Structure 1
Amino acid sequence: MVLYLLNFLGSAAAAGLVTLFYERAGFLIFLLCAPIAVVLYELYHFYVQKYEQAEKHIQELNKLYLQTIEVLASAVDAKDPYTHGHIRRVQAYAEKLAVHLGVEGKNQMLAIQAGALLHDIGKIAIPEYILNKPTVLTETEYEKMKIHPVVGANMLSTIEFPYPLVPMVKSHHERWDGNGYPDGLKGEEIPLNARILSLVDCYDALTTNRPYRSPMSREEVIQFFRRESGRAYDPAVVQAFIDHLEEIEEAGKSVVIPTGGIWGISENSSASTGNVRKLEKAQPTLAYSKALNAGPEVQRELYSVFEFARADFQCLRPAEIFSFMGGKLQALVGFDAAVFYEADLTRGVVVAAHVAGAATENLLGLSLGLEQKLTGWVAANNQALCNLPPFPDFLNCDEPRPDFKISAIAPLNRHGEVFGAISLYRRDAAKFTDEETKNSAAWRSLPLKRRFCWRNVIRTMPNLICLAILSPPFPMVFSCI
C-alpha cells in the first residue's frame, strides 16, 4: 500500500516538473531532454518491479518458514496423547490477547506466533512416561520436566530468528512473583510475550480433558486466574484476558487443525475424540507362521480357539464372551488381573462386568464414573492409557484394596462407539523395561476404534493369541479387538 502511494506521489511530482520544464525551457530543449526522462522512468519502473518480486519472495519464505516451524512443533504436540491441537489453540489465544494488550510491531507478533508453536519444543528431551502420566508428578519427575524451557531455548538459539523468540520460549514458565523456572525472573523482568504465553498455555490446559480431571468451566477459569493474578501471572495480562475471554474462546474454537498430520493422524479428530492412527490392515502372517512351527502346546491352544471360533456366538451374553477372552489372555499374557468394564450411560458410569485373575471379589461390580479415574477417562474419551499406576481405579474398592502396580487400559468399541473398556493390571512393576515402555507408547497409535461385535471378537482371537505369544505382552494385545 505504501509503495503504491509513493508511486502515485512520485508520478504526480514528475508530471508537474515536466510541465514546468516545458514552460521555462521551450520545446526544443524539452525534446532533447525527453529521452533521458524516458530512460529514468523505465529504470524506476524496473526497480519497482524488482522490489515487488523481492517482497513477494520474502512473504513466501516467511510462509514456508512458519510452516516448517509448525511441522517441527507438531512433533512435540503428537508425543502427548492428551494435547493434540494444543499449540495451535495456544497460538490463537496468544495472538488475540496480544492485540488487546496493545502489542505492536510486526516482529513482536511474529515472535508470538512462532513462540506459541515452539514453546514446548524442549519436551523432546522429556521421557514419554512423564509426559503421559495422568497423576501428579513426583519431585524427581517434576525436576526433569522443568528442564524443557532451557532445552527448547538452547535448541532455538542455534537458529537466527529475525524476532525475539528464544527469551519467550525460555521464560514461559516464569511466575510474576519470582517463583517460576528456570531463572526465577520476577515481574517485568519477564518478557511481555512470555507473560502472555504463560497465561494462555495454562488456560488451554485448564479447559482440556485430562485423565485426572474434567475441563474447567468459564466461571471456574475466571476464579482461578483472579486468584493467581499478581502471583503466577501479570495482573494487567490477567485483566485483559478476563475482559476479552469470550473473544479469546472464539479464537480457539475457530482454529482449524490440519488433517493427515506428520504421523498420519487426523489431529482434528484426535483432539476431540482421542482416535488414533488407522492402519490399513493387520498383517499377522509372520505370527501365524511362527505359531504353527511352535511346540505342540501352542498348536493345541490355537486349534481349540479355531474350533471355538466355528461355533455360533449370537446366543452368548457379553459376560460369557468376556470370560472366554479373559481365560485365553490369562494363559498367554503376563498380567495378574483383567477387568472388562461395560458403560452404563444412564448412570454415567462404567461397571466391571467380568474379572479374570486376582482380586475378583474386590473388582467385580466395581463402578467408576465416566471421566473419572483411569478406566472411566479411557471409556469417556476413547483413548488408551498404558504403563500407569492403577491406584485411582481402586479408591472405591473395599479393603483390602488390590496391590497392582501398573496398568494398560483400552476402550472397547461397538459400531464406532465406545461402550466400555478392558483394563489389565500387574503386581510387578519391574516387568516393564524401557523397550516395553516405548512399545507401550507406540501401542496407543494402533487401531482401537474398530467395530466391535461378539462374533468379530471371536474371529480375531487367533490373531490376538498369536501376537500375544510372539510379541511383548502389552503393546499388541488390544490391536486385534
Structure 2
Amino acid sequence: SSLTRVEHDTMKKHVTMGARILTAVDFPYPVVPIVRHHHEQWDGRGYPDGLVGAEIPIGARILSVVDCFDALTSDRPYRSRLSDERAMEILRSRKGTFYDPAIVEKFIELIPALRREDAAHGGSDVRGFVVAGLAQAASERGRESTLVAGLPAVATVRPRVRALFGDRIARIADAEACLFAVGAAGDLLLVAHATLRLGGSAASLRIPIGGGVSGWVAVNRSTIRNADPRLDLGDLAESLALRACISTPIFMGAELFGVLTVYGTQAAGFSDETIASVGMLAQEIGLAIARADADGDDTRPVVRRPPIAAVS
C-alpha cells in the first residue's frame, strides 16, 4: 500500500540524517552534499532543499540517475525487476523534470558497456553476491545439507515446529502461510511447511533468492509488510483471493534458516498487531529449530542452512 503523508515525510528524512552522520567522516572528496541532495529534482520539486538544475551538486545528479536505474532493475516487494530497456524508457521520460538530461543520456550510452563488464566478472549485483556466497557455503558444508527421502525438493521441519506454526497461524483471520527454507544449493527458497489451502500447490514452489517478496526478505534479512502475494504465488494468490502478505526472516542462531510469509485476504493489509505477532512467531520457530538441533533430535531431519554472505 502507499505511504501515508506522515510516513512519506519520515522517509524523506533519510537524506538529512545520512548527511549528518557522514559529517563526522573526513572524506577526501565532497561526499556529504552528494548524499544530502541525491533526491533533489532537476525542476526543483525534490527534497530536502528544492534545488533547481545546476544548483544540484553534479555528484548528486549522477547518483540520482544511477539510483533510479538500480531500483527499477532490481526486485522489489511490490513488483518484479524491470528490463534494462524499460528502465531506460522511464529514465528518458523523466529527464528535464526529475533528472539532468545530459546525465541521463550519458548514462544510457554507458549501460551496454557496464553490463558487459558485469558479465565478464560473473555479474556484480547484490543478488549475485548473496547467491554466490550461499552456494559456496553450502558446498563447503554439503554433508550437513539433507532433504528427507520421499519429499523431493521440499525441506522438512520437526513436529514441534509444525505444531507451533499451525497453532499460531490459525489465530490469524483469513490467513494462509508458508514456512520457506533456504535450499541446499543456497539459491532457492523451498516450502518446508504450508497451511492446508496452499498445500499441494505450494509444495512445488521455488522462489529464487532475491526474487518475489520472500526471496527479497532472504537477501535483505528484514521484514516486509503488506506486499503483493502474487509476487510469490502468482495465479495461486488470485485463486485464493489473497491481497496482502507479511514476510519475515527466520534465524537459527546466527544463521538464516529461511523465511516465514503470511498471506491474507484483507485488501487493507494486516494490522500492526498481526505484523508484530508474525515477527514473534518467526523468532520462536528459529529458537525451536536451534533447540531441537542442539538436543540432537534426529526423528525429523532438517536442512541446515549456511549463513548468507555479507553484502557490502
1:236 aligns with 102
1:374 aligns with 213
2:44 aligns with 178
Would the aligned equivalents of 1:378 and 1:409 in 2 still touch at CA under 8 Å? no
Q: Any gaps of 5 or more consecutive residues in structure 2?
A: 142-147, 171-175, 182-188, 252-256, 265-269, 291-296, 305-312
2:273 aligns with 430
CA pair 400-369 structure 1, distance change in 2 beyond 3 A:
same
Equivalent-residue separation in structure 2 for 1:202 and 1:319 (angstroms): 37
Greater strand fraction, Structure 1 or Structure 2:
2
2:169 aligns with 335
Equivalent-residue separation in structure 2 for 1:277 and 1:432 (angstroms): 33
CA positional deviation for 1:257: 11
Equivalent-residue separation in structure 1 for 2:28 and 2:155 (angstroms): 65
* Per-residue Cα deviation, 1:155-182 (whole angstroms, up to 9, x for no partner): 2334454533322221111111111111
- 1:392 paired with 2:229, answer yes
CA positional deviation for 1:245: 2.4
Q: 1:334 aligns to what SS in structure 2?
A: helix
Equivalent-residue separation in structure 1 for 2:192 and 2:48 (angstroms): 48
Q: 1:389 aligns to what SS in structure 2?
A: strand
2:63 to 179, 193, 197: 197
2:12 aligns with 146
Would the aligned equivalents of 1:256 and 1:268 in 2 still touch at CA under 8 Å? no
CA positional deviation for 1:216: 2.8
2:114 aligns with 248
CA positional deviation for 1:147: 0.9
CA pair 387-164 structure 1, distance change in 2 beyond 3 A:
closer
Kindly name which structure, 1 or 2, has the bigger radius of gyration based on alpha carbons: 1
Would the aligned equivalents of 2:249 and 2:260 in 1 still touch at CA under 8 Å? yes
Q: 2:71 aligns to what SS in structure 1?
A: helix
Equivalent-residue separation in structure 2 for 1:144 and 1:382 (angstroms): 25
- 1:365 paired with 2:205, answer no
Would the aligned equivalents of 1:352 and 1:364 in 2 still touch at CA under 8 Å? no
Q: 1:195 aligns to what SS in structure 2?
A: helix
CA positional deviation for 1:142: 2.7
**Residue-pair matches, total:** 257
Equivalent-residue separation in structure 2 for 1:335 and 1:398 (angstroms): 20
CA pair 228-456 structure 1, distance change in 2 beyond 3 A:
farther
Q: Percent identity?
A: 29
Would the aligned equivalents of 1:341 and 1:422 in 2 still touch at CA under 8 Å? yes
CA positional deviation for 1:194: 1.4
* Per-residue Cα deviation, 1:4-32 (whole angstroms, up to 9, x for no partner): xxxxxxxxxxxxxxxxxxxxxxxxxxxxx
Greater helix fraction, Structure 1 or Structure 2:
1
- 1:208 paired with 2:60, answer no
CA positional deviation for 1:430: 0.9
Q: 1:184 aligns to what SS in structure 2?
A: coil
* Per-residue Cα deviation, 1:130-165 (whole angstroms, up to 9, x for no partner): xxxxx7544433322211111122223344545333
Equivalent-residue separation in structure 2 for 1:330 and 1:222 (angstroms): 44
TM-score (norm 1): 0.40
1:458 aligns with 300
* Partner AA of 2:178 in structure 1: V
CA positional deviation for 1:328: 2.6
CA pair 389-323 structure 1, distance change in 2 beyond 3 A:
farther
* Partner AA of 2:300 in structure 1: I
CA positional deviation for 1:209: 3.2
Equivalent-residue separation in structure 2 for 1:236 and 1:457 (angstroms): 64
1:187 aligns with 53
* Partner AA of 1:408 in structure 2: T
* Partner AA of 2:39 in structure 1: H
CA positional deviation for 1:330: 3.6
CA pair 257-153 structure 1, distance change in 2 beyond 3 A:
farther
* Partner AA of 2:168 in structure 1: G
2:254 aligns with none
1:61-80 equivalences under 5 Å are none
TM-score (norm 2): 0.58
1:156 aligns with 22
Would the aligned equivalents of 2:225 and 2:275 in 1 still touch at CA under 8 Å? no
Equivalent-residue separation in structure 2 for 1:424 and 1:325 (angstroms): 19
CA positional deviation for 1:233: 0.9
Equivalent-residue separation in structure 2 for 1:164 and 1:253 (angstroms): 31
CA pair 460-222 structure 1, distance change in 2 beyond 3 A:
closer
Would the aligned equivalents of 2:213 and 2:247 in 1 still touch at CA under 8 Å? no
1:408 aligns with 248
Equivalent-residue separation in structure 1 for 2:151 and 2:121 (angstroms): 46
Would the aligned equivalents of 1:150 and 1:170 in 2 still touch at CA under 8 Å? yes
* Partner AA of 1:328 in structure 2: A
Q: Any gaps of 5 or more consecutive residues in structure 1?
A: 1-134, 259-266, 282-312, 343-349, 412-417, 448-454, 464-481
* Partner AA of 2:101 in structure 1: P
Would the aligned equivalents of 2:61 and 2:100 in 1 still touch at CA under 8 Å? yes
* Partner AA of 2:169 in structure 1: F
Equivalent-residue separation in structure 2 for 1:161 and 1:137 (angstroms): 34
* Partner AA of 1:183 in structure 2: D
* Partner AA of 1:237 in structure 2: I
* Partner AA of 1:196 in structure 2: I
